[in-house]
Amino acid sequence: MSARRARLAFDRPTRSPAPGGGFIEGWEEVFTCRAGLSVAMTPPQSAELGDRVSAGAVAAPVAGLVTVRAAAATRAVQDGWRIRDIGRGAPGRVLAIRNVSPALPGATSITLGVVWNAPGEAGS
C-alpha cells in the first residue's frame, strides 16, 4: 500500500421518487477536501473478484484508510457514503466508506476505513 495526499470528493447516497412510482437512487457530492490516502492504488480485477466470490470470500477487499482533518463536514460523514479520488480529474476512482472511527473530543483527525467498489455495486 502507498500513502499520499489526495484531493477527495465525499458523496452521500440520495433517493428520490421516480415518475410513475418507485425511487431513483444516486449520489450527491457534499464536500471536497485534501486527505491522507493509504490504499492499494490498483483495484482488484473483475476476474479476481469472481474468484473470491466463488471461493466464498468477501467480494470487496479492504483497500485501506483515509485520514481527514476533523471539521464539521468530516464529522458528518457516515458509513455507506463514498469517496472519489478527484486529484486527476472527475469522476475519479470510487471507494466505499465502510467504517468511520468516532472523533474523540479534541481530536484533530478522523480515520475512515474504505474498500474498492465491486463491479455492479452501488456507486461504482
Q: What would the mean pLDDT of 21-49 be, rounded to a whole number?
A: 76
pLDDT for res 40: 62
The grid coordinates listed for 83 are 469517496
pTM score of the predicted model: 0.73
The answer to whether the CB of 98 falls within 8 A of the CB of 77 is: no
The answer to whether the CB of 61 falls within 8 A of the CB of 52 is: yes
Fold of 2-116: Thrombin, subunit H (2.40.10)
3-state SS assignment for residue 49: helix
pLDDT for res 124: 47
